[in-house]
Chain A
Amino acid sequence: MTDQGRLSVALAQIDPALGDRGRNLERHRQWVKQAAEAGASLLVFPELSLTGYFLKDLVPDSAIQLESKEMRDLAALSTQLDVVLGAVIESPDHRYFNASLYFSRGELLHVHRKVYLPTYGMFDEQRYFAPGDRFRSFATPFGRVGILVCEDIWHLSSAYILSLEGVDMIICPSSSPGRGVTTDERLGTAESYALVCRTYAQFLTMFFLYCNRVGFEDGANFWGGSMVIGPNGDIIAQHQDADEALVLATLDLGDVRRERLANPLLRDERLELTINELRRVSHERTRKPF
């Protein structure tokens, strides 16, 4: 609940069935019910939570359109609490997007189409998806929010842009496969994500919700590790293990204001200078002879 500036959030660290939208929608309903009973006002599902991740040629079969009965079914999940979930969206001109949808009070409030589609190593997203072309924040009942999907956060500019739009919180739904086995207690990917998410929260003085999935697809494991991070970079709640879990946390929304008073990084940010310098860099790059 949002009483006295507090917000109860929940991260649904789930294991979606690959290419089975019907089964996954039913599971979403169960997790929504569970989160509502736990008193959450905002529930976040992982990237492509409605379809699974390594879809390959199943992408078109898994897609839904923004104006459709399927979308109304999804919107209906949010009558009791706000819901962020992942789906394949087909545009009217038949492009397919890896999208994250924010629903509030039975309505679709925002769509973020993943901008940075990893196509290297074990990833092949650009073969199947069209890239999004914008980072936009939006107003929610709990403040300004921006969504970045998984690989989006590996590009500094994405979080930076949202920060200058004045967001209080970034939500990052993710389907991150675990890799990098050493003698460390955790996988290399888990260490890297924790570092990146905490850095953003602290540098940009905002809440950061990271919801990763679990389970296996074609032998790849998803490591979970979903976490809620405060605007000082501290982890408020985390589920370290790679099993299904509902991660609950209560945020004191006043922490953003207090952190920005103590560390007025955002106030001191030089947007014009940044734009001018980037324009210069861009200009110089295009003037290179070859």
Chain B
Amino acid sequence: MSAPASLSEPVFPPLAINPELVRGILVGFIQNEVRKVGFERVVLGLSGGVDSSLVATLASQALGPKNVLGVIMPYRLSDPKSRLDALEVVKQLSIEPLEIEISAQVDAYFERFPDADQRRRGNKMARERMTVLYDQSWARQALVIGTSNKTELLLGYGTIYGDMASAINPIGDLYKTQVWQLADAVDVPTAIVQKAPSADLWAGQSDETELGFQYRLIDQLLYYLVERRYSVEELKRQGFDEAFISEIMDRVRENQYKRRLPVIAKLSSRTIDRDFRYPRDWGH
């Protein structure tokens, strides 16, 4: 296991947060954005990882555990430990669990495409989970609450219309290293906060191995790049390796499409999202 060192190493000071302040804002955000559109409940996928465990905790504090449905959706190759970690969170929070294994539908599909590679299969699993969540959303009248953090969203390390799909996302403006801080402060089990981040598309998969860099270092670079708008020259003077800078910048740029609605061919004078601009919270 690689060491994410989520808790053991000191936090990069500019990304250190006051967890109580952030927790208060995010709990208020969930209460407000869920209730004002006429909902009381939320549904989310519980992977056993730190992001969904944190969101489940915040949602439970915001809406009460009875109003949070945690859906555990393992594939047959998922690490069994992930399911156990997710169940631990369910137990700790007293939220309602629902277990739906997605192996049958995923395997049925890939019987026709046996040569499909890991990434294709992983994306399919993420979208399979999405359809389960949106079905449960309708069945339970519960909003789908997202669990993508800012680091993932910027790097495009997620599946479009899969795990990136949600109605509201409380942690999309928190970097991974900030997720660790907040998760620890709201008592997400330490084993979950400390384990190596993984998309768990196959046992032993590691985010940091796949990305090629540690989240701590990525977040530091993203801080200077995104929050402070440092130029490449300035980033190099901060001591970042040129290849690292260029790879991360490429990822951010290449994945911009995942963060936007589909591009609409403009014809009229009021095209949706270009010059037809209304707040999402219209009338609420």
Interface string of B59-96 (1 = CB under 8 A from A): 00000000000000000000000000000000000000
Minimum C-beta distance from B71 to chain A (A):
23
Query: B284 near A58 (CB under 8 angstroms)?
Result: no
Query: Which of B25-33, B119-127, B154-162, B194-202 forms contacts with chain A?
Result: B25-33
* B278 touches which of A56, A183, A221, A242 (Cβ 8 Å): A56
Q: Whose C-beta in chain B lies nearest to the C-beta of A124?
A: B277
Query: A216 near B28 (CB under 8 angstroms)?
Result: yes
User: Contact residues of A with B, CB < 8 Å?
Assistant: 17-20, 54-58, 178, 181-187, 215-219, 221, 242
Query: A181 near B18 (CB under 8 angstroms)?
Result: yes
Minimum C-beta distance from B270 to chain A (A):
9
A-B contact count (CB 8 A): 62
Query: B280 near A218 (CB under 8 angstroms)?
Result: yes
Query: A18 near B282 (CB under 8 angstroms)?
Result: yes
Q: With an 8 A cutoff between CB atoms, is B283 at the interface? A: yes
CB-defined A-B contacts under 8 Å, sample of 17: A17-B284, A18-B282, A19-B279, A19-B283, A20-B283, A56-B279, A58-B278, A181-B25, A182-B14, A185-B18, A186-B21, A215-B32, A216-B32, A218-B281, A221-B28, A242-B24, A242-B25
Known contacts being A19-B279, A182-B18, A216-B32, is A221 close to B25, with CB within 8 Å? yes
Known contacts being A216-B32, A216-B33, is A183 close to B281, with CB within 8 Å? no
CA distance A211 to B278 in the complex (A): 26
CA distance A187 to B283 in the complex (A): 27
- Which 6 pairs between the two chains have the least Cβ-Cβ distance? A216-B32, A56-B277, A218-B280, A183-B16, A54-B279, A57-B277
Query: A18 near B18 (CB under 8 angstroms)?
Result: no
Query: B283 near A17 (CB under 8 angstroms)?
Result: yes
Q: Whose C-beta in chain A lies nearest to the C-beta of B275?
A: A57
Minimum C-beta distance from B21 to chain A (A):
7
Known contacts being A57-B278, A216-B29, is A185 close to B21, with CB within 8 Å? yes
Minimum C-beta distance from B31 to chain A (A):
9
Query: A221 near B29 (CB under 8 angstroms)?
Result: yes
Candidate in B277, B279, B280 with the most chain A CB atoms within 10 angstroms: B279
Contacts of B232 in A (CB 8 A): none
Interface of A is mostly: loop
Query: A57 near B33 (CB under 8 angstroms)?
Result: no
Candidate in B14, B16, B25, B276 with the most chain A CB atoms within 10 angstroms: B25
Q: With an 8 A cutoff between CB atoms, is B235 at the interface? A: no
Contacts of A217 in B (CB 8 A): 279, 281
Minimum C-beta distance from A188 to chain B (A):
11
CA distance A234 to B90 in the complex (A): 49
Minimum C-beta distance from B32 to chain A (A):
4
Query: A55 near B18 (CB under 8 angstroms)?
Result: no
Minimum C-beta distance from B102 to chain A (A):
30
Query: B281 near A18 (CB under 8 angstroms)?
Result: yes
Q: With an 8 A cutoff between CB atoms, is B245 at the interface? A: no
How many residues of B are counted as interface, with CB atoms below 8 angstroms from the partner's CB atoms?
22
CA distance A190 to B282 in the complex (A): 26
Q: Whose C-beta in chain A lies nearest to the C-beta of B168?
A: A219
Contacts of A242 in B (CB 8 A): 24-25, 28
Minimum C-beta distance from B47 to chain A (A):
23
Contacts of B14 in A (CB 8 A): 182
Query: A58 near B279 (CB under 8 angstroms)?
Result: yes
Q: Whose C-beta in chain A lies nearest to the C-beta of B284?
A: A18
Minimum C-beta distance from A195 to chain B (A):
18
Q: Whose C-beta in chain A lies nearest to the C-beta of B16?
A: A183
Query: B29 near A183 (CB under 8 angstroms)?
Result: no
Known contacts being A178-B25, A216-B29, A221-B25, is A184 close to B18, with CB within 8 Å? yes
Minimum C-beta distance from B152 to chain A (A):
17
Interface string of B259-284 (1 = CB under 8 A from A): 00000000000000000111111111
Query: A183 near B17 (CB under 8 angstroms)?
Result: yes
CA distance A58 to B278 in the complex (A): 7
Contacts of A216 in B (CB 8 A): 28-29, 32-33, 281
Q: Whose C-beta in chain B lies nearest to the C-beta of A187?
A: B21
Query: B283 near A181 (CB under 8 angstroms)?
Result: no
Contacts of A19 in B (CB 8 A): 279, 282-283
- Contacts A181-B22, A216-B281 supplied; 16 other A-B pairs, CB < 8 Å: A18-B279, A18-B283, A18-B284, A20-B283, A54-B279, A55-B279, A181-B21, A182-B14, A182-B17, A187-B21, A216-B28, A216-B32, A219-B29, A221-B29, A242-B24, A242-B28
Contacts of B32 in A (CB 8 A): 215-216
Q: Whose C-beta in chain A lies nearest to the C-beta of B30?
A: A216
Contacts of B17 in A (CB 8 A): 181-183
Minimum C-beta distance from B139 to chain A (A):
26
Minimum C-beta distance from B184 to chain A (A):
14
Contacts of B282 in A (CB 8 A): 18-19, 58
Minimum C-beta distance from B85 to chain A (A):
27
Contacts of B276 in A (CB 8 A): 57
Minimum C-beta distance from A148 to chain B (A):
25
